[in-house]
């Protein structure tokens, strides 16, 4: 986290989401600072994906608040914004990297158009500049520039994920949500993707909230970690501290099960 970033970018207070009798997440509170990467970990059904959906305004909360510091410095309640304002934020200042890149890409248009659409959302209209920037970003995510006119359906899973990352980061967002970004990829592809992500996040000074069941991913990418169980945050702290010396029995089980793999 960069020095001088002493005001939270995101403030989450008493956040909860329930589906009738079923609880998604309960009473989650934290601050996220500019340039900070927070990993949310836990087993399947722990509530981490529900939490991510609420934080990114894809689901409305049952309780609590999510406040984001706009570029004018003012903290705004995300669920008090008009739907159009939230959609604009998601296309410009925020990014969302899905586990399945098909959810985050337009499969029927070219790689260049997938990246270029985000640039148009922030007001770029010059075709040549859009294409040049798209080509530059394809290079940054290790996709050959001569694939710029190919559609994502012609790409491998790893390439699609890298394209989705380029599409999200081209507008230099300040906050990016990631849902199991390396899930479903084979180990060698995962390792390259993680190296790429770590470099881009650091270079761009991004704030990131990443949901993962993989503690190795959390260790590599995050500054801070939040452990969830049955919809509640049961332990939080600096990533190395929590993973090397977990206090909660559940976290100890999570860590030891990874060590035995």
pLDDT tier at 195, thresholds 50, 70, 90: very high
Asked if residue 2 lies in contact with residue 34, where contact means CB atoms within 8 angstroms, the answer is: yes
Distance CA 93, CA 91 (A): 7
Query: Looking at residue 124, what is its pLDDT?
Result: 84
Residue-wise pLDDT tens digits, 150-164: 999 999 999 999 999
Percent of the chain with pLDDT strictly greater than 70: 97
Spell out the domain ranges in the chain: 1-93+177-261, 105-172
Of the candidates 246, 202, 169, 228, the one whose C-alpha atom is nearest the C-alpha of residue 49 is 228
Q: What is the mean pLDDT of residues 178-192?
A: 89
Q: For residue range 226-257, what is the model confidence (pLDDT) as tens digits?
A: 999 999 999 999 999 999 999 999 999 999 88
Tokens encoding 237: 């702290």
pTM, two decimals, is 0.93
Helices (H), 122-214: 127-140, 157-169, 187-204
Mean pLDDT score across all residues of the chain: 92
Residue 235 host element (H or E): strand 232-238
Instruction: Judge whether residue 258 has pLDDT over 90.
Output: no
Distance CA 195, CA 62 (A): 37
pLDDT digits (tens, 9 = 90+) for 112-140: 999 999 999 888 888 899 999 999 999 99
Compute the chain's Rg from CA coordinates: 18
Instruction: State the Cα–Cα distance between residues 30 and 71, nearest whole angstrom.
Output: 20
To which residue do tokens 């509170």 refer? 29
> If DSSP codes are grouped into helix, strand and coil, which group holds residue 252?
helix
Whether residue 66 has pLDDT greater than 50: yes
Any idea which residue has 């959810």 for tokens?
Answer: 103
pLDDT value at position 29? 98
Residue corresponding to tokens 């309640």: 77
**Fold for domain 1-93+177-261?**
Rossmann fold (3.40.50)
**Would you put residue 178 in left (φ > 0), alpha (ψ -120 to 50) or beta?**
beta
Please check the confidence at residue 2 and state whether its pLDDT lies above 90.
no
**What's the pLDDT score for residue 1?**
42
- Tell me how far apart the alpha carbons of residues 130 and 139 are, in angstroms, rounded to a whole number: 14
**Res. 4 pLDDT band, cuts 50 70 90:** very low
Give the pairing type, strands 175-179 and 94-97: parallel
Express each pLDDT in 48-63 by its tens digit.
999 999 999 999 999 9
Is the Cβ–Cβ distance between 230 and 250 less than 8 Å? no
Q: What is the pLDDT of residue 78?
A: 96
Rounded mean pLDDT of 17-40?
95
Residue 199 pLDDT > 70, yes or no? yes
In degrees and rounded to multiples of 5, residue 67 shows phi and psi of -120, 135
Bigger pLDDT: 82 or 5?
Answer: 82
């Amino acid at each position: 986290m960069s020095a001088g970033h002493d005001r939270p970018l995101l403030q989450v207070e008493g956040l909860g989401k329930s589906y009738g009798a079923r609880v998604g997440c309960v009473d989650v509170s934290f601050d996220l600072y500019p340039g900070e990467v927070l990993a949310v970990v836990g087993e399947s059904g722990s509530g981490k994906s529900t939490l991510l959906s609420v934080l990114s305004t894809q689901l409305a909360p049952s309780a609590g608040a999510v406040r984001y510091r706009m570029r004018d410095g003012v903290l705004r309640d995300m669920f008090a914004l008009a739907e159009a304002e939230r959609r604009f934020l998601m296309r410009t200042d925020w990014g969302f990297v899905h586990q399945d890149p098909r959810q985050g890409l337009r499969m029927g248009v070219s790689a260049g158009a997938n990246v270029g659409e985000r640039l148009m959302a922030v007001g770029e209209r010059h075709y040549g500049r859009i294409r040049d920037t798209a080509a530059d970003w394809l290079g940054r995510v290790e996709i050959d520039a001569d694939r710029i006119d190919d559609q994502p359906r012609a790409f491998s899973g790893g390439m699609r994920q890298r394209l989705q990352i380029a599409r999200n980061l081209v507008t230099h967002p300040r906050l990016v949500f990631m849902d199991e970004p390396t899930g479903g990829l084979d180990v060698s592809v995962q390792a390259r993707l993680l190296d790429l992500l770590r470099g881009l996040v650091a270079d761009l000074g991004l704030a990131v909230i990443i949901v993962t069941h993989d503690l190795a991913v959390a260790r590599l990418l995050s500054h801070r970690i939040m452990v969830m169980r049955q919809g509640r945050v049961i332990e939080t702290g600096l990533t190395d501290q929590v993973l090397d010396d977990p206090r909660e029995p559940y976290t100890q089980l999570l860590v030891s099960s990874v060590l035995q793999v």
